[in-house]
């Protein structure tokens, strides 16, 4: 998993509340178990019409936001079914951070396991960042995980809380497999000892 320490990028405003996982990546695209290639279908039903043409006024289709790495979203982002394809699609598109007042629990946990930082802030702070994000190409925001700070285009700062263990995992690029591999020496020692004690196994 790619490490997350400091991210500076365009923030896209998505003030809609209750953006669910089927909106993030519709169920028709869940046939794959690969994490790559889903970005093109991120928010598919919002980005494209029935003929497959881009809907010009959808935020990620606007020139200023095509390379957005941060989403400032309305309340309850990631609700709905518990599909891990949702963070896969966000990450494949290039989104590394989502900021909202609240997230669905399973989506929130899946973000951390895939190198995406979900940040929960009070409504007034989200409103400030939403206003910053609406500046188009000037909506450059810096998210500093180590300092737990978000810096807006004008230099204003917002602080955020995060669980220390999840912070450690993101800073070091550790998903569940990475955490297990950190214990590889102990695992190998245990297996060797077990093999000597029970050679018939």
Tens-binned pLDDT, residue by residue, of the chain (201 aa): 899 999 999 999 999 999 999 999 999 898 877 778 999 999 999 999 999 999 999 999 999 999 999 999 999 999 998 889 999 999 999 999 999 999 999 999 999 999 999 999 999 999 999 999 998 878 999 999 999 999 999 999 999 999 999 999 999 998 766 666 555 667 666 666 766 777 776
Helical pair 105-113 and 85-93, crossing angle rounded to 10 deg: 50
Number of domain units in the chain: 1
In a domain, 191, yes or no: yes
Q: Residue 32 sits in a domain of what CATH number? A: 3.20.19.10
Phi, psi of 111 (to 5 degrees): -60, -50
What's the domain range around 59?
Answer: 6-197
In a domain, 1, yes or no: no
SS (H, E, C) 165-184: HHHHHHHHCCCHHHHHHCCH
């Amino acid at each position: 998993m790619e490490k997350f320490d400091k991210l500076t990028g365009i923030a896209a405003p998505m003030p809609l509340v209750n953006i669910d996982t089927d909106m993030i990546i519709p169920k028709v695209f869940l046939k794959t178990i690969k994490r790559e290639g889903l970005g093109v279908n991120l928010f598919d039903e919002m980005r494209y019409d029935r003929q497959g043409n881009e809907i010009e006024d959808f935020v990620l289709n606007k020139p200023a936001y095509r390379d957005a790495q941060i989403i400032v979203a309305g309340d309850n982002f990631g609700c709905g079914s518990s599909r891990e394809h949702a963070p896969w699609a966000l990450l494949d598109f290039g989104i590394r951070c989502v900021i909202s007042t609240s997230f669905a629990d399973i989506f929130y946990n899946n973000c951390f396991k895939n190198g995406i930082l979900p940040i929960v802030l009070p409504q007034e702070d989200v409103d400030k960042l939403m206003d910053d994000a609406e500046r188009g190409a000037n909506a450059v925001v810096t998210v500093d995980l180590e300092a737990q700070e978000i810096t807006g285009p004008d230099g204003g700062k917002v602080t955020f809380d995060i669980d220390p263990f999840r912070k450690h995992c993101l800073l070091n690029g550790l998903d569940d497999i990475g955490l297990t591999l950190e214990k590889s020496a102990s695992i190998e020692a245990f297996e060797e000892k077990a093999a000597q004690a029970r050679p018939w196994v």
